[in-house]
Amino acid sequence: MSSENPYLKKYNEKKRVEPKLRQISSTDKKKKKGSQDIKNLKKNLLACKKTINSEPVSEEIIDKKEENRCTDEKSLNISEKNIHCRLKKVEMELYRLRKGMGELKDETKALNNTIQSWMKMMVNQQQSRQNNLYSYTATAPPSPSYPPLPHPSSYPPPPSYPPPPSYPPPAPPSSYPPAPPPPSNPHPPSGHNYYQYSAHQ
């Protein structure tokens, strides 16, 4: 609404033109190039003055403009405060991250130191074990030197034994004499009393 008002438009144009006119008049008095611009600006300024003097700008428009400016300033202040708070939060987060990174670096450094010390200790232990093994290994005595065995061809021949005696072959079973008959038990004589032998007596 303020941009559509012709009086406010001329008022703004006057405020915009006045510093330029002063600057041109103070710096370009001796120059001919800016004469036409100065004339145009003067004409515009005179026209603005006439319109302002003839019909002054209403106070409502000025109040609205001032109110808009105040609201703009307030919104700017609020946005600046928000930006400042956000920047503080970002700075705090960056500080925490840097602190965490520093702690992590310290922890990794300490861990690397412990790993290196462990590796050195393990290497020293292995070297000491190898040295102990080398120092305590018993050397085997040299094998006794026996005289070399003679070649089988150099052995003497075995002694010659006499042949076994030749015995006559056994006689066949038909040439044996017959076996004598078994003896027969004689009958006891009659007239004598014999007690029968029993196993119970």
Cα of 117 vs its chain's centroid, Å: 21
Residue 152 is given by DSSP the state G
Percent of the chain with pLDDT over 90: 4
Give the pLDDT confidence score for residue 2 in this predicted structure. Answer: 46
Give the pLDDT confidence score for residue 178 in this predicted structure. Answer: 74
- Is-above-0.95 flag for pTM? no
| Residue carrying structure tokens 């056994």 | 170
Q: Indicate whether 81 pLDDT > 70.
A: yes
Q: Which is more confidently placed, 112 or 128?
A: 112
The tens digit of pLDDT for each residue in 51-80 reads 655 555 555 665 666 667 777 667 777 777
Hey, what's the torsion of the CAs at 128, 132, 135, 138, to 10 degrees? -160
Give the pLDDT confidence score for residue 118 in this predicted structure. Answer: 92
CB atoms within 10 A of CB 48: 20
Across the range 25-52, mean pLDDT stands at: 67
Across the chain, mean pLDDT equals 71
The mean-pLDDT minimum among 19-33, 53-67, 93-107 falls in 53-67
Confidence category of residue 4, pLDDT binned at 50, 70, 90: low
Say if residues 39 and 25 touch (Cβ distance below 8 Å): no
Q: Which is more confidently placed, 199 or 135?
A: 135
CB atoms within 10 A of CB 11: 19
Q: Indicate whether 172 pLDDT > 70.
A: yes
Q: Is 64 exposed, middle or buried (0-12, 13-18, 19+ CB in 10 A)?
A: middle
- Highest mean pLDDT of the ranges 25-34, 122-131, 190-199: 122-131
Give the pLDDT confidence score for residue 1 in this predicted structure. Answer: 44
- Highest mean pLDDT of the ranges 31-45, 121-135, 167-181: 121-135
Token pair recorded at residue 86: 């956000």
Q: Would you mind telling me the total number of residues written for the chain in this entry?
A: 201
- Residue from 61, 63, 18 nearest 42 by CA: 18
